[in-house]
Amino acid sequence: MIRYYHLEDGFSPAENYKEGDWIHLEGHEKKELEQMANQFNIPANLLADIYDIDERPRVDSEQGWTLVIIRTPRKRDGLKLHFATVPLFLIFKEKTFISICSYPTEALTDFLAYSKTKKINNITAQELVVHLLMNAAVWFMNYTKTINDETSKAEAQMLHNIRNDDLQKLMHWEKSLVYFEAALRGNQILLDKLQNYLQLDANSGLYTDARTELYQAYEMVLIYHNTLKGTMTTFSSVISNNVNLVMKRMTALSLILMLPTLIASFYGMNLINHSEQSQWAFLIICGISLLLSGCAFWILKHKKWL
């Protein structure tokens, strides 16, 4: 789907394209890509990796066109892995600015609303790239907070009952944080490269804000990731400890039950044991069995096996 946004006190949707509009392709179907490439004479080399969902943040240029690839977060409803990252391709030359993304993202929708609120005007392509990097960092933090909240709920539930489903959720959230961490690190390196590549002013407020947001997002993801890893390690230790406790108690109960079984086995043999004629033999055997079992129970209880 091709969308046009006209810059007038923020980016507003437009029906048709005119020079200076922001063109956004969502889903990048082959026909639409070919249409854009032919209309603006975009070099084929810049579009060679457009279908690679794992493309890392980088910057490239050819024939006056500049390609910037950033990683932006994406929420995946209905899937086990709720959060992931996707590449956002930014291609621009003079007054032409084109963005291409495989999937819809809340980060882009939020930036459009933000541009209207702040009434952004007279923005260059270089500044728009930095704005999108900063906006992606903000949404990385928003999704990280959501993951942390969900993790806290799962932890509270797992304190009472540890289920496989809860452990799998923690595993998927940890995987999302790994993707976030890698994407933010790549975006940080990209911003440093863009400073020289696009001749950005390192002392400008926009560049400083973007650098700060990326640093804060990276640190937040790193902290929550380490916390989640510690939580998973703790619950793994708890599960192993619970298994050990169960096995120890079962062993203790087996020892207690083994003594009466052993005595019954001796007296159950078809041999003369001089107690066949005694009317108290059965009670004596039961008493000895109970006595030995009681002693075994006391010893195991004293050693905290039960």
The helix (run of H) or strand (run of E) holding residue 88 is strand 83-93
The listed range with the strongest mean pLDDT (85-99, 148-162, 192-206) is 85-99
In DSSP terms, 6 is beta-bridged to 12
The domain ranges of the chain are 2-241, 242-302
Strand partners, 99: 24, 90
The per-residue pLDDT for range 210-264, each reduced to its tens digit, is 899 999 999 999 998 888 888 877 777 777 777 787 888 888 888 888 888 877 7
The one-letter code for the residue type at 10 is G
Instruction: Judge contact between 26 and 3, C-beta under 8 A.
Output: yes
Model pLDDT, residue 188? 92
Helix (H/G/I), strand (E/B), else coil: 128: helix
pTM of the model as a whole:
0.78
pLDDT band for position 42 (cuts 50, 70, 90): confident
Q: Which residues contact 135 (CB under 8 A, 6 or more apart)?
A: 107, 108, 110, 111, 114
Which pLDDT score is estimated for 78?
Answer: 67
Interatomic CA distance for residues 11 and 226, integer angstroms: 39
CATH code 3.30.460.20 for 2-241: yes
- What per-residue string of b and e applies to 182-220 under the rule 16 or more CB within 10 Å gives b? ebbbbbbebbeebeeebebeeeeeebeebbebbeebbeb
Residue 122 scores a pLDDT above 90? no
| Per-residue pLDDT, 72 | 92
Q: How far apart are CA 304 and CA 139, in angstroms?
A: 51
Average pLDDT over residues 169-183: 89
- CA pair distance 260, 161, nearest whole angstrom: 36
